[in-house]
Every structure is written in structure tokens, then in C-alpha cells.
Amino acid sequence: MKQRTCHALTLMALLGALPLQAAETAPAPSRTECIAPAKPGGGFDLTCKLLQVSLQETATIDKPMRVTYMPGGVGAVAYNAIVAQRPAEAGTVVAFSGGSLLNLAQGKFGRYGVDDVRWLAAVGTDYGMIAVRSDAPYQSLKELVDAMARDPNSVVIGAGASIGSQDWMKVALLAQQGGIAPQKMRYVAFEGGGEVITSLLGNHVQAMSGDLSEMVPHIEAGKLKVLAVFAKERLPGKLAAIPTAKEQGYDLEWPVIRGFYVGPKVSDSQYQWWKQTFDQLVKSDAFKAQRELRGLFEFNLTGAELDSYVKNQVTQYREQAKAFGLAK
């Protein structure tokens, strides 16, 4: 009897030593889909294609991932569809960005909030920036802000989104730190980043608020110069010459993260499969090459760490939006 008890205790100890996550992980979904909550060709499409190609190149799944498009409200339509109509689809992930979180903070996703989905993985980031023409008279961010302070009408800032968007918030925070009332700055919204660049090159606007990745070809062509990147520290490689806003005296960071969430009723075991898949995927050379190809920088968070980051970010965005009268 004593021997059986010892054997039982030994078996229990061995089982207890096994990784708990392995026992709780579901098999790979038989069908996978990435929803890009916009029309083809934008940042959400880029995010889904990054995942689609990386999964295929690493042979993580048997069948290619499907990418579908669900435009509307910078993610609002897709968010509502997943929560209300497709909450338990284990193979479906939805792309999100920092812009999605800003809209959540401003209540633009309707009756659903940040707690209504399961935040899964962040796989990269871009950074906000301010750019001018290469022959512009401004050699630093301070010179641009000083010109705005002297005469707000002399500097027209263009961006590919409306008031309250990420591009507007970035320049509004910059103006505020320069002692300029945001409502006094001249801000012109265009339909997208391409139109802003055309307008900047034609000198119809004097500066542009946008994201760094879209600037790289124009920097290399010598047509535009970036006065500041809104990152914590200078970026690596060929972008290392671009100063941060912080080192020029402006306490401003604006990461534009890219990632995925799943529906609220996806089971823990199914969620765990995705988490473990992303944890391994971001370490692969294939994924790193695809991320660099798309102009994104390393930013890897999964599971509880991402959930905490997203909720803190939404809270921060809400406070910033309140200060500008854009949220309750």
C-alpha cells in the first residue's frame, strides 16, 4: 500500500512538473483568417500581410491564411462585428493599430470598449514624426515651433487624417509644449499620406505630421527631411541621424503599434495557441525580414503584457483627448 502511495505521489510530482501551458494549448485552427479593418493597401493590410506571409514561410499552418477587408471607422466596423457577431472564431484575428486605440479612447467604437476583445499580440511599431521640404528654412524642430509661435498662419501643417486623429494629436501636443494654443495652429486634413507629401513638395503646406516609415523613400531621394521622430531614442541603421523630439526639448513620444486581437469568446486554450505561435514567430528570421520590408521596427508583446499595455495606452489617450475636448 505504501509503495502504491509513493508511486502515485511520484507520478503526481512528474505531472506537476510538466509545463501547464502545453496541457492547455489547443491544436492549430483548421482555418485561419486575418481581418484588415480598412480597404486594401493601407496599414491594416500591411499588418495582415506580415502575418500571412510569415506564417506561410515558417510553415506554422497547413493552409494559407486568408486576408479579408472590413473598412469603416478606423477599425470600428470590424470591432463591432467580432464582438457581436463572431466572438468565438478561434482562427480569426483582427489587425489593430495605435489609431484604433485612440478611437477607442474617444468612444468612437460605439457601445464597445477596450475590455470587449482579447488583445493578442503586438508585432511591430512605426513612430510619429514631423517632416518638411529639404530646402525649408527650418533646421530643427525648435525652429519650426518658434515660427509657429511667432505667426501661426505662416506654417500650415498637413496630415492624412482629421482633427482628433493620431496625426492631429501629435502636432497638437507639440504645439502645446511650444506655448501655442492647438486651436490656433493651421492644420489641413488630406485623404491620405500620399496627398500630404504631394502638397508638401508643392509648398502648399510647410510641414507634415505623419509616420516615419512612409517618409523613408523621400528622405533617401533627398526631397524631404524629418526634423524629429517621436521615439524614446534614436532609431537604428540609416535612420540614426534623425533626432528625437525629446533630445530637442519636447517631451513627446508617439509609437504607432501594429498588432492583433481575437473575439471575446475564444477559449483560453485557443488563445494560448495563438500566443505561443506569436512568441515563436517574432524570433524567426523570416518574420524579422518581412517586418523590416514593411518599414516596421521591433515591438513584441503578447498575452497579458499586451493587454496591460493596450489598456494603459487607451487611458493615456483618453486623458490627452479630454484635454483637447475630444473625449468625456
Would you give the distance in Å from CA 122 to the centre of its chain?
8
Best CA proximity match to 187, nearest among 155, 216, 228, 213: 155
Distances, alpha carbon 179 to alpha carbons 146, 229, 326, in Å? 9, 20, 20
Examine the pLDDT at 5 and tell me if it is beyond 70.
no
Give the pLDDT confidence of 62-80 residue by residue, as tens digits.
899 999 999 887 789 999 9
- Rounded to the nearest integer, the mean pLDDT of the chain is 90
**Predicted local confidence at residue 17, as pLDDT:** 42
Determine the average pLDDT of the residues in 320-327.
Answer: 87
CATH entry, 31-126+255-323, from 3.40.190.150, 3.40.50.720, 3.40.50.2300, 1.10.10.10? 3.40.190.150
Give the pLDDT confidence of 133-192 residue by residue, as tens digits.
999 999 999 999 999 999 988 999 999 888 888 999 999 999 999 999 998 999 999 867
pLDDT band per the 50, 70, 90 thresholds, residue 34: very high
Dist. CA 124–CA 288, nearest whole Å: 10
Q: Which of 104-108, 299-303, 306-310 bottoms out in mean pLDDT, i.e. has the lowest?
A: 104-108
Residue for grid cell 527631411: 225
pLDDT band per the 50, 70, 90 thresholds, residue 308: very high
Determine the average pLDDT of the residues in 279-308.
Answer: 95
Note whether 91 and 317 are within 8 A (CB).
no
**Predicted local confidence at residue 3, as pLDDT:** 46
Give the pLDDT confidence of 233-258 residue by residue, as tens digits.
999 888 999 999 999 999 999 999 99
Examine the pLDDT at 1 and tell me if it is beyond 70.
no
Dist. CA 134–CA 31, nearest whole Å: 49
Dist. CA 234–CA 138, nearest whole Å: 20
**Predicted local confidence at residue 328, as pLDDT:** 74
Residue for grid cell 497579458: 304
Q: Which of 2-11, 44-53, 57-66, 305-314 bottoms out in mean pLDDT, i.e. has the lowest?
A: 2-11
| Terminal Cα distance for the chain, rounded | 68
**Predicted local confidence at residue 190, as pLDDT:** 83
Dist. CA 278–CA 262, nearest whole Å: 13
Can you tell me whether residue 322 is helix, strand or coil? helix
Q: Based on C-alpha coordinates, what's the Rg of the chain?
A: 23
Can you tell me whether residue 164 is helix, strand or coil? coil
CATH 3.40.190.10 range(s) for the chain read 131-248
pLDDT band per the 50, 70, 90 thresholds, residue 204: very high
pLDDT band per the 50, 70, 90 thresholds, residue 42: confident
Burial class (CB within 10 angstroms; exposed 0-12, middle 13-18, buried 19+) of 185: buried
More confidently predicted of 11 and 194: 194
Distances, alpha carbon 288 to alpha carbons 200, 205, 236, 291, in Å? 32, 36, 15, 5
Give the pLDDT confidence of 214-231 residue by residue, as tens digits.
888 888 899 999 999 999
CATH entry, 131-248, from 2.40.30.10, 3.40.190.10, 3.30.230.10, 2.40.50.140? 3.40.190.10
pLDDT band per the 50, 70, 90 thresholds, residue 47: very high
Residues 6 or more apart whose CB falls under 8 angstroms from that of 193 comprise 160, 210, 211, 214
CATH 3.40.190.150 range(s) for the chain read 31-126+255-323
Strand 186-189 relative to strand 156-159, pairing: parallel
